[in-house]
Amino acid sequence: MTILVTGGAGFIGANFVLSCLRAGEEPVVNLDKLTYAGNLGSLAAASANPRHLFVKGDICDLELVSDLLRQHAVRAIVHFAAESHVDRSIRGPEDFIRTNITGTFRLLEATRSYVATLPAAAREAFRFVNVSTDEVFGSLGPDAIPFDETSGYFPNSPYSASKAAGDHLVRSYFHTYGLPVITTHCSNNYGPFQFPEKLIPLVILRGQKGESLPVYGDGMNVRDWLYVEDHCEALRAVLAGGKPGATYNIGGDCEKANLDVVHEVCALLDELHPLPGEKAHRELVRFVADRPGHDRRYAIDAGKIRRELGWRPAEDFRSGIRKTVVWYLQNQDWVNDVSSGEYRNWLATNYGSGVDAQ
């Protein structure tokens, strides 16, 4: 029996694949289209592992997915594959509609047909874990209680709207067809292998070069931060003990304003990679025009997964962010591989004058 992971060359997906391979003997089939944010370099530790099979392909390819399910006797799917960057969804939403909605639909269809062929015990044990985001719930006021599993959906970007649509499809396949699905909603992840368009790796990589550090608006947008390896452990707990049809919120119980996050990264860079002349990294911060529809605050109530499955994060932000900064400073080859010309062009397009020309 095998786990099929979609999007397993992306940030969270690659960490999850490596976590599974470290933890047990079960084979992993890893299906990824290898768009700009997918990187086989993130899977280097799995390259010689006979329990890992990488397949380059698209979740929209119904025939390919169906063949993989049958050929490898898949007993569970963990679905990461998604376009996931809000800024990119604002500038080009069509790819988000195709992958996050159409791709999820076709994956569900292939799974429904496959599960119908399984013996009763295998059908009962099968799981489809849909990895979603807290962004589907919209923006919270400063004093509002955190999102829980009963919170309504109020997506405010093409990205979060497309993920919300995928979530609704997943839910419908449970209620209409009895497909054993589970949806998780995670808060902002950080850690190794994150593509450097996201806030924390952006600050680390630009800060170590002494380049300007662009921060949207006033920097007071608040997010809950979750170390990626903690997220992977939560997903493994959901896969092992989650109830079909249920949803689980996964958060780090760590609300921080973006500017505070930037300042903490800067302080670590001052310690671990000081600039010439004793210049402080926080002097590099440059405020840039806010993005359209920028949600002010997200916060996650992860009480349900703690109570039902016994999961809680192992890292607090102080320990997790130190591990993250150290990893990026020590893995320059990976950084250089992903920092392509296309990535530099994106920075200039998205942040404009807030980013130094390189």
For residues 196 and 218, give the distance between their C-alpha atoms in angstroms, rounded to a whole number: 21
Assigned token pair, 333 = 């080859």
Q: Which domains does the chain have, with CATH numbers?
A: 2-193+225-254+297-317 (3.40.50.720)
Contacts of 96 (CB under 8 A, 6+ apart): 83, 88, 89, 158, 159, 162
Task: Please give the pLDDT value at position 352.
Answer: 53
- Where on the phi/psi map is residue 252: left (φ > 0), alpha (ψ -120 to 50), or beta? alpha
Q: pLDDT tens for residues 235-244?
A: 999 999 999 9
Residue closest to 188 by CA, chosen among 224, 147, 155, 154: 224
Q: pLDDT tens for residues 168-200?
A: 999 999 999 999 999 999 999 999 999 888 899
Q: Would you tell me how many other CB atoms lie within 10 Å of the CB of residue 299?
A: 19
The residue count of the chain comes to: 358
Read off φ and ψ for residue 346, nearest 5 degrees: -65, -45
Task: Please give the pLDDT value at position 348.
Answer: 55
List, by residue number, the catalytic residues.
134-135, 159
CA-to-CA separations, 169 to 2, 37, 164, in angstroms, rounded: 24, 25, 9
- List helix spans (H) across 192-286: 199-208, 228-241, 258-272
77 forms beta bridges with 4, 128
Rounded-to-10 torsion of CA 33, 81, 192, 307 = -160
247 forms beta bridges with 183
Q: pLDDT tens for residues 120-146?
A: 999 999 999 999 999 999 999 999 999
Q: pLDDT tens for residues 3-31?
A: 999 999 999 999 999 999 999 889 999 99
Residue closest to 9 by CA, chosen among 185, 23, 36: 36
Task: Please give the pLDDT value at position 233.
Answer: 98
Question: How large is the C-alpha radius of gyration of the chain?
Answer: 20
Return averaged pLDDT per consecutive 10 residues of the chain, 358 residues in all.
95 97 93 87 93 96 98 98 82 91 98 98 97 96 96 94 97 98 98 92 96 96 97 98 98 97 98 95 96 92 98 97 98 85 51 42
For residues 7 and 197, give the distance between their C-alpha atoms in angstroms, rounded to a whole number: 18
Task: Please give the pLDDT value at position 358.
Answer: 31
Task: Please give the pLDDT value at position 196.
Answer: 85
Task: Please give the pLDDT value at position 39.
Answer: 87
CA-to-CA separations, 276 to 132, 173, 354, in angstroms, rounded: 42, 58, 22
**Sole residue written with tokens 């840039």:** 288
Task: Please give the pLDDT value at position 353.
Answer: 43
Task: Please give the pLDDT value at position 351.
Answer: 44
Q: How far is CA 347 from the centre of its chain?
A: 20
Task: Please give the pLDDT value at position 350.
Answer: 52
